[in-house]
Structure 1
Amino acid sequence: MESKMQTYFKDLESKDKTVQYEAYNHIMEATRKEVDWAYEVWDSLIDDLTNKDNHRRSRAAQFLANLAISDPEGKMLNDFRKVWMVTMDPKFVTARHSLQSIWRVGLAGRKQKEVVIESFVHRFHNCTDEKNYTLIRYDIIQGLKNLYEATKDEEIKQMALELIEVEEDSKYKKKYKGVWK
């Protein structure tokens, strides 16, 4: 890993929130494309998924979701559940940031895409007892849209439209449909 990227990871621990935020943005930007250093940080990110600091949990989930495309060994298939658990974090903002990023795991390959879609579908059907479930459903629909846009897989679009039809409240059904306009 180049020294600049190492510095960004170190800067995540800075007391200065601006320095942390800039480092976060640089890492997110770098991991939007394939990198050759994913495994250098993988295990520490996995450990951070259960850190007491919700910011670390959120960042770890987001970074790992992005790094899935840089995972030729398919480690994400074994670690996905650990990342997915952060989408149900007690801190809703942490859960939401993780949920909004996890679609990117589906860009890593067919199996990863299947795991993401299955997880989205299951959660959509079973989240109505969760606080803010309409936002969770919205993020799932948006995640499916993002994955569809990146892959042009028509089955994803069809699945999302079928999920939208499950929604009984016309206000939310309209909101979810708006994602696909």
Structure 2
Amino acid sequence: MNSEMEKEFEKSKSKDKQERYEAYHNILNETEHEVDWAYEVWDQLLEDLTHKDNHQRSRAAQYLANLAKSDPEARMLNDFPKLWEVTKDEKFVTARHSLQSIWKVGLAGREQRDMVMEYMEHRFQNCTEEKNYTLIRSDILQNMRQLYDHLEEEDIKQTALDLIENVEDTKYAKKYKAIWK
């Protein structure tokens, strides 16, 4: 990792909110494409998934989701359950930001895609007891849409449409269908 990125990771933990915010965006932008330094920060990010600061948990989850494409050892296949836990964080904003980025793990390869789809499908079917479950469902369908738009695999779309078909509340079924228009 070059010294600029090292500084960005340091700044992402700064007490200064603006500095933290800029570093966050710089790291996300840098990790939009494959990088060769993912493992230099991987273990720390895994540790940060349970950090006492919910912002730190959220950032770690988003960074790891972005870094999944830079994971030639396929560590994400073993580490994904830890990342997924943050999508159920006690702080809903943390959970939601984590969930909204989770689809990026599916871009890392077929196994990762299948794993992410399986987790999201299960959550969609079983989240009705969770607070804000309609938003969770919406985010899951949006994640599937993102994956579909990037990978253009019909089974992703079909899974999403099948999930929507089983939604009993017509108001929400209509909203969910709009994601796929």
Q: Distance in 2 between matches of 1:25 and 1:161?
A: 33
C-alpha separation in 1, matches of 2:61 and 2:10: 17
Q: Aligned equivalents of 1:176 and 1:12: distance in 2? A: 34
Q: Distance in 2 between matches of 1:169 and 1:145?
A: 21
Name the structure 2 match of 1:81.
81
Return the letter of the residue paired with 1:157. Answer: K
The alpha-carbon deviation at position 15 of structure 1 amounts to 1.3
The alpha-carbon deviation at position 149 of structure 1 amounts to: 0.4
**Which structure 2 residues correspond to residues 135-154 of structure 1 after superposition, within 5 A?**
135-154=135-154
Q: What corresponds to 2:173 in structure 1? A: 173
Supply the distance in 1 between the matched residues of 2:67 and 2:73 (Cα, whole angstroms).
Answer: 12
How far is 1:38 from its partner? 0.2
Give 1:56's aligned amino acid: Q
> In 1, are the aligned partners of 2:13 and 2:56 still within 8 Å (CA)?
no
Match of 1:93 in 2: 93
- CA offset at residue 121 of structure 1? 0.4
**Once the two structures are superposed, what CA deviation does each residue of 1:43-69 show, in whole Å capped at 9, x if it has no partner?**
000000011110011001100000000
Deviations 1:92-111 (A, max 9, x none): 00000000000000000010
Any idea what the Cα deviations from partners look like across 1:126-159, whole Å, max 9, x if unmatched?
0000000000000000000000001001000000
Percent sequence identity over aligned pairs: 65
Deviation at 1:13, TM superposition (A): 1.7
Which residue of structure 2 lines up, in the alignment, with residue 123 of structure 1?
Answer: 123
Q: Give me the whole-angstrom Cα distance separating, in 2, the residues matched to 1:161 and 1:60.
A: 31
Q: Does 1:64 align with 2:60?
A: no
- Unaligned runs of at least 5 residues, structure 2: none
**1:15-47 per-position Cα deviation (integer Å, ceiling 9, x unaligned):** 110000000000001111000000000000000
Counting matched residue pairs gives 181
**Helix, strand or coil at the partner of 2:164:** helix
Distance across 2 between alignment mates of 1:69 and 1:51:
24
Structure 2 letter corresponding to 1:26: N
What letter matches 2:90 in structure 1?
P
> Structure 1 stretches of 5 or more lacking a match?
none
SS in 1 for 2:15: coil
Q: How does the TM-score come out when normalised to structure 2?
A: 0.99
Moved over 3 A (4+): none
RMSD: 0.5
TM-score (norm 1): 0.99
Shift of residue 12, structure 1, vs aligned partner: 1.1
2-side partners of 1:69 and 1:119: how far apart? Answer: 18
Output the CA distance in 2 between the equivalents of 1:22 and 1:155. 37
